[in-house]
Structure 1
Amino acid sequence: MNVYHRKLYALVRSLETIKWLGTDVSYIYKGLSCLAPHLEELQTWWEDGNIGTSISSSSDRINLNSTAQPGEMDNIVVRHPISGQEQTITVSAFNTQIDISKIAAESDEKIVFWWFWRYFPEQLAHLDAENALLIPTHRILPDYPLHSYQSTVSALTGAIFPDGEESNSSKEAPYLLLFTFSPVQEFIKSSRKFLDFWAGSFLLHYFSALVCFEAAKLYGPDAVITPSLWNQEIIDAFLIQEYPQIRDILKNSQQPNNDPTTRFDHDPQSQSLSTAGFPNVITVLVPNQKSATELGNKLDNLLKSRWLSMSQKVRTCIKNQVINLLDGENQIAEIWQQISEEFPNLEADDLRKQLRQFHQQGCWEWNKLWDAQIENTWETYFVAVPFGHPEKPLEIDTTNLDENQRQEWITLQNQIARPIIDLPSQAELNAYNKLNVGSLWGSLQARLGNTIQAIKNTRAWQIPVAPGERSTLSGLYPDFSQVRKNACISQI
């Protein structure tokens, strides 16, 4: 049994921990072939206590008990997390058993987990299109969607039990990794045309999605905390490319049009794959410090190697097109005619000579300059903090602890998270006898942001090699005068 067996089991069975929902999904995890050999072991592990559910329940909120009776599905009030706008819904998606026949026989637990993480909410939406995706985890604070709760539980399960054992055998704390790359504004602000602006934005979007999917392949899509990868078209395209079996399942299911690449190719109105939107900052939950370091280095190498590969293809394309365009004196004369109309003061003989040289493979002197600029385009940064104090458990029961022991645990956790207010609050201390690190999510995210900014502010930056006069602070060239423009054109 490996970590994906546990993640899949936790993703599905976490629904049963929502008491007000009162649903039984045993027919799902008992009906999956990939879980069948391990069901007894998984059930024992789950019933012994999976702290992933309690940590997920207390993330960024006071963990209040719901006053609703199990099975009360009518007149549920939900609120928008930003505006607070109220809406009343009725839950009916669980009144009918969900059809898992298309995925039940799949033996690869990783593929099954990806399918459930991505398409299980849509299966619910098929049964209740209006309300299924609005089902809250909690009735008192109804701003936390059901799928987000499930995803957080499975992500914590993968981080706490990375080796598939019943406990973290290495006794290492999970870590939150923040990875980012730059430049962003400088990369797109020099665009001369709207197409250039779109291309720059899309490249940033593509590279961010690329590193997100790489992290998802290693630790699961649920482990990428921000941005959310669920229902992102470019991630769906990567997913189907990585696991073609899922494409076949979709063709024979209730979501035949959920293949984003096919939809993009055949639907003129589909623009989702060409729309940029991914941020250049991602946060991933990983099992330990070593995993955080290895993942940060891996994402750095992936970004730079993919950029290098793309740039080599672009350079080859430019050279081939120019060489083909200048194939013959008639073509050179035609190009010269177009240039002379724009720049009548240029020397014809010199320019013709330069054009003839461009037709030869060995006369492209900008190869080294191109390489120097490409190799110095991206700067990557990553930082990680432990998800709770490494030497303390993620959850404690204060019933059998004295005040000093309880305060020691709280103090050490706050040393890691550095919250701006005391956590847990006095009201929580009075109300609960179990405390966990779930209430520190927001503070840990804030510390990651502050730490990565401190690293950027103290980085050692070297100006890339390139000819010409420019600022030693910013690396920017001065504005060209018309004289220098003409001089540069003649040199080209």
Structure 2
Amino acid sequence: MDVELEIKKIQALLHDPPEKPIILGKIGHEGRAKELMLELGLVDEASIPDDVRTADHISSAADRINLPKHEHFIADFCGNPIIKHPLSAKEFNLKKLPDDTSRITASADRAIINLEKKYSGDKEKLYLALWRELFGSLMDKKNDVAKLGQLWELLPADTRIPDHSIWEHKRVTSAIAGALPKLAFLLFAIGPVQDFIATARKTQDLWAGSYLLSYLSWSAMKLVAEEFGPDSLIFPDLCGQPFADKWLINDKNLEIAEPELEKLSSPTLPNRFLAIVPADSVRDIAENAKKQVQKIFHEACYAVKDAMEARLGIELDDWEHIWSRQTADFIETYWAATIFENMKDIAGFISEYKQLMGVADKWAFDALLSAYKKGFAPNIGTIYGQIYKLTEKALGSSKAVRDFKQQDEPNHKCTLCGVREPVHPGLHNNKDCSKDFGALRGFWQEKVLPNFPQIRKSERLCAVCVTKRLSSRHYFKEKLQFNNIDDNFPSVSMVATASFKLRVIENINNNNLAVKVGCFVDAVDALAGDRCSGIPIPMVIRACRDEISKKFARLEGDWLYKETLEDKETLWEENKNKMSEDDFDNVLLTAKKRWKELFDAIKEIDKTLPDDKRIGSPSTYYAILLMDGDNMGKWLSGENAPTIGDVLHPIVKNTLEYDQNWQALLKQRRPLNPSLHLAISKALRDFSLHVAREIVEKDHLGKVVYAGGDDVLAFVNLRDLPEVMRKLRAYFSGCLVADDTTNKIAIDFKEGEGFIPVDDSGEAINVGSGKQIKGFMLSMGSKATASMGVVIAHHNTNLSQVLDEVRKCEKEAKKLRDKNAFCIALAKQSGGTEQVSAKWFYDFGYEGQGGIFETIPLFSQWADAFYYDYISPKIVYALRTETIGLEKLPAQAIRLELLRIAKRQWKKKKEKESNEKVLGELVSGIMNLHAGGLSLDEIGKFLSVAAFLGREGTR
């Protein structure tokens, strides 16, 4: 950016002071804006130039409902401070605000002066600080003498239409100001996405593929941010994004906090972005972004290539040719732009839009446009929604006609993707690796495997797959100075055994257990060396209070299974170059003895513990979940936006309801606007960065692979699966309420506020926690839903198959009407899969009690009944065989039959009265599922999965 653009963006970001809705009608806001510019050091530039005014008008037209001029609408924000959730339109009354504006303006003054002191005279830093730091500076207790706290974030741009804040308006104004005089709307996307991520044999591959794509996306976004400022990107929201913060610190020298390591290590950026840029530059910036993505991918691939060459001593043409052939055109990019040659020709654009999009004669937007003409004259901002939809369609078309450059891949195939040839030097032991499989296998086992422990025995990888496997260590750490990046990932056996490890650690000082644990870990270390340790689940390592516990937490989960130590052939193959066969036999025998001693000690301890506290044995099963927001395309296109009437201040709405010209318009969807895009982007950013990981890794036994906004892929220990599923779904939509007396957070899918309470560190507060609420994060709101696929799999099952299955489950969930569903599959090692789909909740109640009925709590209740052995798992078979033909009977008859079957399988025969109550509740619950559309056979599958979880999930 040049200095002129930096000044213009500063003027745009301050053209409305942050306190405008509070001082409106009391202090001239334009004069106040100039005061803030002077405080920031803009002496000669303390004004609002014409192009910033133009940008303001366009931004206002894009975000606001163009109300009729003949009505004088007044919505006094201090006297009646109403705000609306931008996506659900839920109304919040903030109660009366202070009339004294002096403390409020003093807060803004202090915040601005603080930034001026930090970056005095540096226009670029001042602009970036206004974008990134001003809100935080306002909330700083040293500056916030008005004590508005996070209310600063909610102050509306227009008090009559309080569904978007002054911050969104100013950012959009800055983006437009930087692109004038002619705007272009640029959509840019990277592919292939799903195939690249899904090709995985190790959990590490999943993370690495996601992370590399996220970083490639950032490399394209960074190019736009460097040229036109980070606020030129409408989505995703880069403010507070770890890659962006790292850029601001390293390249721009902003004095902000370093992003947390785990967040910097998380793939959280989507593979696409929308930006507003100058029309004259759009082609250059798109093509440069494309080149940048290809350059970074090439850098990553060749950093891995160079590392392999250095260790393996390779400098051969065949090796070079394979790398060049496989990586040159692998990453695809697409872009589309809508360009305005004549910014005032709105009618011409609308006419062309109708033709290109096949708009019907009676188009609702025509009526709204006619009404708008009675207010301020419509401009290009008025048709923001149509511009976006046209650009989106153009991007889809560019993908459909992309140039396929598929290379003919000869010879043997990569063991990971099965598509490309494994990389090799041409000859190994004087044999041709292309033709002789033994030579290829020998190169990978004899040369690659000893030098790169990340490679598994029997693996032979192509250039793309080996880049995924090794790029974190040989590119991100060394080339990008992410020296402490958390690049390793727990194996599925670490996930499966996490609850067992946690129980052992909790009892480490019980009956000399620490000695047994330490001896076993040492014995495995003598046998396995580097393969002894893995990456622990975060919650397990946090529970450790001594070195023995930490070593046990890091013990690779496979070693806790007896069969691992029984596989003598494999263990000898891994050790034959390290020790003699006699030494190996002794080390293996010692490890087996220590294993038995450990588990014998655990059995003795369990005799002294209550049922629900016993250590037990490690589970061999784990869960993987894939959650995806429903209808995100409709949200981004405005099809799911609230109605116009819903987003208006009640005073304005009530007035317009008496206007015949507006009565029908109030029922129309609110036109798509940039602030809605920013709100979606912000909600998804916070969910991916702050919420998903908090739920999965801090509050439960799990590990997030990626959280890219509306989608989450995570591994979860079976103990915590139901709660993780339920919380991810509830927090995605902000379906949470806080108890005013206890301060505790509860899930409420009916009355949820649409915001996520946070503690004083800015992290989401867990359900049931009594932590003091210090603020909130925006969520997608209660009208947005998400669906989830879940697979419970054995730790030895091929990971690629499990990934395929979880995607199928997610698709099955989305087949349910109106979605908002989950599909869970149990893939038993013995063969066969039980799969059932259901809604997260049903808005009804059996026997007419009304309200919301949740499915997951019922699932947990049945699992508990099986765990505590209150009811026999035989009920599953009995229900599925004895209810055949009952579907058409009245609900009460079915309920009585289910109750009869349940009573017969109930084991806890004492306390007859309480038994009947519990049984009645369990049966009423499954009758709710039946009323919601599940067949009796599907209910049998539901109970089958619950029975398995009850028995296995507590191991």
- TM-score per shorter chain, which class? 0.7 to 0.9
2:342 alignment partner in structure 1: 391
Q: Cα RMSD between the aligned structures?
A: 3.0
For residues 296 and 376 of structure 2, the distance between their equivalents in structure 1, rounded to whole angstroms, comes to 51
1:148 pairs with 151, 168, 180, which one?
168
1:31 alignment partner in structure 2: 39
2:506 alignment partner in structure 1: none
State whether residues 292 and 384 of structure 1, in contact with CA within 8 Å, keep that contact through their aligned partners in structure 2.
yes
Instruction: Describe the shift of the 1:302–1:378 C-alpha distance in structure 2 as closer, same or farther (beyond 3 A).
Output: same
Moved more, 2-11 or 91-100: 91-100
Question: Are 1:59 and 2:62 an aligned pair?
Answer: yes
One-letter identity of the residue aligned with 1:272: K
1:290-309 alignment runs, 5 A limit: 290-309=280-299
State whether residues 296 and 382 of structure 1, in contact with CA within 8 Å, keep that contact through their aligned partners in structure 2.
yes
1:455 alignment partner in structure 2: 398
Instruction: Describe the shift of the 1:188–1:384 C-alpha distance in structure 2 as closer, same or farther (beyond 3 A).
Output: same
For residues 134 and 263 of structure 2, the distance between their equivalents in structure 1, rounded to whole angstroms, comes to 21
One-letter identity of the residue aligned with 2:298: L
State whether residues 21 and 155 of structure 2, in contact with CA within 8 Å, keep that contact through their aligned partners in structure 1.
no
Instruction: Describe the shift of the 1:416–1:142 C-alpha distance in structure 2 as closer, same or farther (beyond 3 A).
Output: farther
1:259 alignment partner in structure 2: 258
Question: Are 1:134 and 2:165 an aligned pair?
Answer: no
How far the C-alpha of 1:197 sits from its partner, in A, is 0.3
TM-superposition CA deviations, 1:393-427 (whole Å, max 9, x none): 2xxxxxxxxxxxxxxx4430214554754347255
Moved more, 19-28 or 444-453: 19-28
How far the C-alpha of 1:491 sits from its partner, in A, is 7.0
How far the C-alpha of 1:310 sits from its partner, in A, is 1.6
One-letter identity of the residue aligned with 1:381: Y
TM-superposition CA deviations, 1:76-117 (whole Å, max 9, x none): 222222333332226678343332334325222121101001
How far the C-alpha of 1:124 sits from its partner, in A, is 2.5
Larger radius of gyration: 2
2:306 pairs with 286, 308, 316, which one?
316
For residues 58 and 154 of structure 2, the distance between their equivalents in structure 1, rounded to whole angstroms, comes to 22
State whether residues 211 and 266 of structure 2, in contact with CA within 8 Å, keep that contact through their aligned partners in structure 1.
yes
Instruction: Describe the shift of the 1:423–1:52 C-alpha distance in structure 2 as closer, same or farther (beyond 3 A).
Output: farther
One-letter identity of the residue aligned with 2:121: S
Instruction: Describe the shift of the 1:416–1:385 C-alpha distance in structure 2 as closer, same or farther (beyond 3 A).
Output: farther
How far the C-alpha of 1:38 sits from its partner, in A, is 2.9
1:85 pairs with 78, 86, 90, which one?
90
Question: Are 1:411 and 2:356 an aligned pair?
Answer: no
TM-superposition CA deviations, 1:225-261 (whole Å, max 9, x none): 12121221221111111112x22xx4xxxxxxx232x
Instruction: Describe the shift of the 1:449–1:49 C-alpha distance in structure 2 as closer, same or farther (beyond 3 A).
Output: closer
Instruction: Describe the shift of the 1:433–1:10 C-alpha distance in structure 2 as closer, same or farther (beyond 3 A).
Output: closer
Q: Which runs of 5+ in 1 are unaligned?
A: 161-167, 251-257, 265-270, 324-359, 394-408, 479-483
For residues 366 and 265 of structure 2, the distance between their equivalents in structure 1, rounded to whole angstroms, comes to 43
Question: Are 1:120 and 2:100 an aligned pair?
Answer: no
1:104 pairs with 103, 106, 116, which one?
116
TM-score (norm 1): 0.72
2:215 pairs with 189, 192, 206, which one?
206
One-letter identity of the residue aligned with 2:40: L
2:607 alignment partner in structure 1: none
For residues 160 and 75 of structure 2, the distance between their equivalents in structure 1, rounded to whole angstroms, comes to 13
State whether residues 424 and 439 of structure 1, in contact with CA within 8 Å, keep that contact through their aligned partners in structure 2.
no
Instruction: Describe the shift of the 1:152–1:433 C-alpha distance in structure 2 as closer, same or farther (beyond 3 A).
Output: closer
Instruction: Describe the shift of the 1:6–1:185 C-alpha distance in structure 2 as closer, same or farther (beyond 3 A).
Output: same
State whether residues 19 and 104 of structure 2, in contact with CA within 8 Å, keep that contact through their aligned partners in structure 1.
no
For residues 11 and 135 of structure 1, the distance between their equivalents in structure 2, rounded to whole angstroms, comes to 15
Moved more, 88-97 or 230-239: 88-97
Higher relative contact order, chain-length normalized (CA < 8 Å, sep 6+):
1
1:276 alignment partner in structure 2: 267
For residues 267 and 305 of structure 2, the distance between their equivalents in structure 1, rounded to whole angstroms, comes to 24
Secondary structure in 2 aligned to 1:84? coil
State whether residues 21 and 156 of structure 2, in contact with CA within 8 Å, keep that contact through their aligned partners in structure 1.
no
1:180 alignment partner in structure 2: 189
For residues 167 and 283 of structure 2, the distance between their equivalents in structure 1, rounded to whole angstroms, comes to 29
1:368 alignment partner in structure 2: 321
One-letter identity of the residue aligned with 1:131: L
For residues 73 and 423 of structure 1, the distance between their equivalents in structure 2, rounded to whole angstroms, comes to 36
State whether residues 76 and 88 of structure 1, in contact with CA within 8 Å, keep that contact through their aligned partners in structure 2.
yes
One-letter identity of the residue aligned with 2:266: T
TM-superposition CA deviations, 1:164-207 (whole Å, max 9, x none): xxxx4xxxx21111111211111111111111101111111111
For residues 18 and 453 of structure 1, the distance between their equivalents in structure 2, rounded to whole angstroms, comes to 41
TM-superposition CA deviations, 1:36-95 (whole Å, max 9, x none): 1333xx34x35x98121121112154233883466x425422222233333222667834
Instruction: Describe the shift of the 1:428–1:49 C-alpha distance in structure 2 as closer, same or farther (beyond 3 A).
Output: farther
For residues 188 and 74 of structure 1, the distance between their equivalents in structure 2, rounded to whole angstroms, comes to 52
Question: Are 1:240 and 2:245 an aligned pair?
Answer: no
For residues 325 and 104 of structure 2, the distance between their equivalents in structure 1, rounded to whole angstroms, comes to 58
One-letter identity of the residue aligned with 1:237: K
Q: Which runs of 5+ in 2 are unaligned?
A: 422-435, 445-955
Moved more, 4-13 or 310-319: 310-319
Question: Are 1:286 and 2:277 an aligned pair?
Answer: yes
